[in-house]
Amino acid sequence: MAKLYFYYASMNAGKSTTLLQADFNYRERGMTTMLWTAQLDDRGGDKAIESRIGLHAEANRFAAGTDLWERVMASHRTQPLACVLVDEAQFLTKEQVWQLARLADEGGIPVVCYGLRTDFQGELFPGSAALLGIADALVELKGVCHCGRKATMNLRVDASGAAVKQGAQTEIGGNDRYVALCRKHFSEALSA
């Protein structure tokens, strides 16, 4: 029976690297996969999914209105898929998460999602909240804070490195805009 998986972590914990390794493993065995990532994150350009260690792959892009059930099943009917892999899953809508669950339940296709659990204020992203609620398996990947503890939080910083305490939930950026921290150092940075 196919399942819906959610691998979550802070930034810089290797989510995209893990996704690309899983994709490689399927393809190495002659199996077909389908990769997805958020349309709003265009930092990878043509590479679409790109890890900090230099691995990359092309992927389909989803927006809030993308019907993942229809798009994946159309591809699956042409060439059977062994797995669907979704990067930046925090940007999925609740409806899209249910579409992915349907792919596993009715389509018989394993779906593996990778994303952030919380935003720069410690609040759940809508896609992450839905995945935490209905995924068959939850797997936490470990990031590391500068103190050596497990990083679970994502601190947004400005150009000078100061903590940003307010703003839109979604602002695309990498190491220039976010720092992965343990909860203690995240709280200290926000209260400074």
108-129, pLDDT tens digit by residue?
999 999 999 998 888 899 999 9
What is the average pLDDT across 163-167?
Answer: 70
pLDDT tens for 24-67 read 999 999 999 999 999 876 655 555 877 767 777 889 999 999 99
Tokens 């200290």 identify what position?
A: 188
pLDDT at 40: 74
pLDDT of amino acid 130:
98
Rounded (10°) CA dihedral 130, 131, 134, 135: 170
**Are the beta carbons of 153 and 45 closer than 8 angstroms?**
no
Domain ranges of the chain: 4-142
Average pLDDT over residues 125-140: 97
The catalytic residues are: 88
Q: What is the pLDDT of residues 64-94, one digit of tens each?
A: 999 999 999 999 999 999 999 999 999 999 9
The model carries a pTM of: 0.89
Specify the pLDDT at position 41.
61
CA-to-CA distance for 127 and 54, rounded, in angstroms?
Answer: 26
Asked if CATH classification 3.40.50.300 holds for the domain at 4-142, the reply, yes or no, is: yes
Q: Give the Cα separation of 85 and 160 in Å (integer).
A: 36
Is a pLDDT exceeding 80 seen at residue 140?
yes
Does pLDDT of 96 surpass 70?
yes
Average pLDDT, the chain: 89
Confidence of residue 170 (pLDDT cuts 50, 70, 90): low
